[in-house]
Amino acid sequence: MSQGELARPRKWDRIKQRVKAKLGPAGVFFRGFLEEPRMVGSIIPSSRFCINAMLEPVDWSNCKLFVEYGPGVGTFCRPVLERLAPDAALIVIDTNPLYIDYLQRTIPDSRFTAVLGSAADVEEIVKAHGHEQVDYVLSGLPFSTLPDGVGQAIAEATSRVVAKGGAFMTYQFSATARDLTARHFPHVETGFALANIPPCLLAWGWQR
């Protein structure tokens, strides 16, 4: 292989890195939606109103481990880290390597861990990172469009891993996630984020 042929792949890699750097979170989010539309709830990240409403019930002083399913480009990650105690941890789980790579490059916080994997394996992932249970689990996964059986498996695993007093929190554009939560958590509260595009249903399944 000639030097010119060797140089072309390296040049192409540099071009891809420059494009990736300029793409920004909105571009990364949209690209992820195009690649895995069934795994992304919306092409528009959640609004600040939705974020604040979803996180408002969390008892941050007693939260040692927070887990998020489907973090996308970190719309919730940064607000969670702003509220999280210095000795607490945030683990996010996503099946899209595009999002995991982006988060690992853009969130340099020692409390933060991004895992490429399935939310259905949350118990194994949590144990692999030195924990037994989770205080709060947040999910924006589109349960209504997940492959058959996946949503049920995620809800069951989440009910086992959430500690007493903790909650499984979901924000959705349909009632599917809330209804699944109600099957596995003894107490469910609901709310609405109207100042969001589109408006979404919020649910908190408490492990009491």
More confident of the two residues 110 and 7: 110
How many angstroms separate the Cα of 56 from the Cα of each of 12, 64, 79?
45, 16, 11
Q: What local confidence, expressed as pLDDT, does residue 52 receive?
A: 93
- pLDDT tens across 124-180, in order? 999 999 999 999 999 999 898 888 999 999 999 999 999 999 999 999 888 999 999
Q: What local confidence, expressed as pLDDT, does residue 79 receive?
A: 96
Q: What is the mean pLDDT of residues 10-17?
A: 55
Q: How far is residue 19 CA from its own chain's centroid?
A: 24
pLDDT reading at 115 higher than 50? yes
| % of the chain beyond a pLDDT of 70 | 76
Q: What is the mean pLDDT of the chain?
A: 85
Query: What is the value of pTM for the model shown?
Result: 0.80
CA distance 187 to 159: 12
Phi then psi for residue 192, to 5 deg, are: -135, 140
| % of the chain beyond a pLDDT of 90 | 63
| Number of other CB atoms surrounding residue 104 within 10 Å | 13
pLDDT reading at 195 higher than 70? no
- pLDDT tens across 65-111, in order? 999 999 988 999 999 999 999 999 999 999 999 889 999 999 999 99
Question: What band does 41 get if pLDDT is binned at 50, 70 and 90?
Answer: very low
Contact 137/68 with Cβ under 8 angstroms? yes
Q: What local confidence, expressed as pLDDT, does residue 177 receive?
A: 92
CA distance 82 to 66: 12
Q: What local confidence, expressed as pLDDT, does residue 145 receive?
A: 85
Q: What is the mean pLDDT of residues 23-39?
A: 53
pLDDT reading at 116 higher than 90? yes
